[in-house]
Amino acid sequence: MTPPFTAACIQNRAGPDMDAGLADAAGLVRDAREAGADLICLAEYFSCLDVAQDRFEVGARAEEDHPALPLFSGLARELEAWILVGSLAIRPPDGLGDGPGKGKILNRSYMIDATGVIAARYDKVHLFDVDLKDGESYRESDTVAAGGEAVLAPTPWGLLGMSVCYDLRFPHLYRTLAQAGASFLTVPAAFTKTTGEAHWHVLLRARAIETGCYVFAPCQYGVHGKAATYGHSLIIDPWGRVLADGGEDRGFVTAQVDPAQVEEARRMIPALKHDRPFDGPKRLTASKAG
C-alpha cells in the first residue's frame, strides 16, 4: 500500500525579470517544503512572463543554458523533494529542423526527482490560439511548436500524467494518461483571468472525475503586461472535491494525497474500463414532404 503524501501548488506572478521570478519561486518552494510538501508543483512560465502589444516574453533559452534547471535540481536534492518545474520556454537545437516548427520554441514541463535528476520532460501538445471578447487574442502557435507525445512520470507514489494549461480542454489526453496507469495529473498553467473565471474550476474537476485521478494545477495570478492570469491554484481529489484553492494572491497551497482514494474512486465508478468502440455519427438528411 502506497502511503499518503503532501502535495503543494506554488502560486506566483512572473514578470519580465527572470532572476527575480526564479528567486521568488525558489523561496516559495522552500516555504512549501517547510510546510511538509513532498511534491511541489510550479506554474506554467513561472520564471518569466510578460505580454506586450507586439511581444510575448517568456525567457526562452536552450535547455542546457536555462538557469531554472540547475536551480531547482539543486533545490530538489537539498530539500529531498520532488519538484514539477511547471513549464519553461526552451529553444531547441537547430530550431526543430526545416518543418513548420523552424525557429520556434517549446513550452516544456519537467519533473525533477528528490535526487535532483530530471525524471521526465513533456512538451505542451495543444497551443492556445483563441479570440476572446473585447479584442483579447492570443496566438501561441506563432512562437511555440506543439509537442506530440503524452508523458507519464514515475514517482514514489505512482505514475503521474503531465500536461500544460490549454491541454486541459482536451479530455482524451487525460483519459489516455489514466488508462496508461496515471494516478495523478499535473496541469501547470498561466490561465487567463477571462477564461479562468468561466472555466478553470469546472474543467479541472471534470478531468479528475473522468479519470479518477488527483489533479495538481498550479496557476499564476495577476497582471503580466497586457495580460492577466487567474490564480486559484487547485488540488482536487479523484471524486472531484477541491482540497485546496490558492485564491488570487502570492503563496502556496497544500493538501494530503492518499493514493488509495484513486483505487476507491475507480472501484465505485470503473468508467476507465467501460470504453466501447463505436462508429462515427451518421449524417441524417431531412425527408422530402409529399
288 has catalytic annotation:
no
User: Is residue 284 one of the residues assigned to a domain?
Assistant: no
Residue 99 binned pLDDT confidence (cut-offs 50, 70, 90): low
Q: Which residue range forms the structural domain that includes residue 243?
A: 5-273
Assess if residue 285 is contained within a domain: no
Active site residue 78: no
Calculate the alpha carbon distances from 104 to 66, 92, 240 in Å: 16, 8, 37
Distance (Å, rounded) from C-alpha 40 to C-alpha 51? 26
- Out of 41, 48, 124, 140, pick the active-site residue: 124
Q: What is the pLDDT of residues 68-77, one digit of tens each?
A: 999 999 999 9
Give CA–CA dist 74/49, Å, rounded. 23
Give the mean pLDDT of the chain: 95
Q: Single out the catalytic residue among 44, 48, 57, 140.
A: 44
Q: Single out the catalytic residue among 48, 165, 213, 219.
A: 165
The verdict on residue 282 lying in a domain is no
H helix or E strand, kind and range, residue 120: strand 118-123
The pLDDT of residue 284 is 78
For residue 189, tell me if it sits in a domain: yes
The residues with which 234 forms a beta bridge, in sequence order, are 217, 245
- For 240, counting Cβ atoms within 10 Å of its Cβ (0-12 exposed, 13-18 middle, 19+ buried), the class is middle
Q: Is residue 169 part of a domain?
A: yes
What pLDDT digit, counting tens, does each position of 48-61 carry?
999 987 678 999 99
**Which region, left, alpha or beta, applies to residue 223 given φ > 0 means left and ψ of -120 to 50 means alpha?**
beta
Q: Is 165 a catalytic residue?
A: yes
pLDDT digits (tens, 9 = 90+) for 123-133: 999 999 999 99
Q: What is the pLDDT of residues 184-213, one digit of tens each?
A: 999 999 999 999 999 999 999 999 999 999
Q: Which of 69, 53, 52 is nearest to 61 (CA)?
A: 69
Q: Is the pLDDT of residue 162 over 60?
A: yes
208: domain CATH number is 3.60.110.10
Least confident range from 73-87, 252-266, 274-288: namely: 274-288
Q: Is residue 283 part of a domain?
A: no
CA distance 188 to 198: 18
Q: Does any domain span residue 204?
A: yes
Number of compact structural domains in the chain: 1
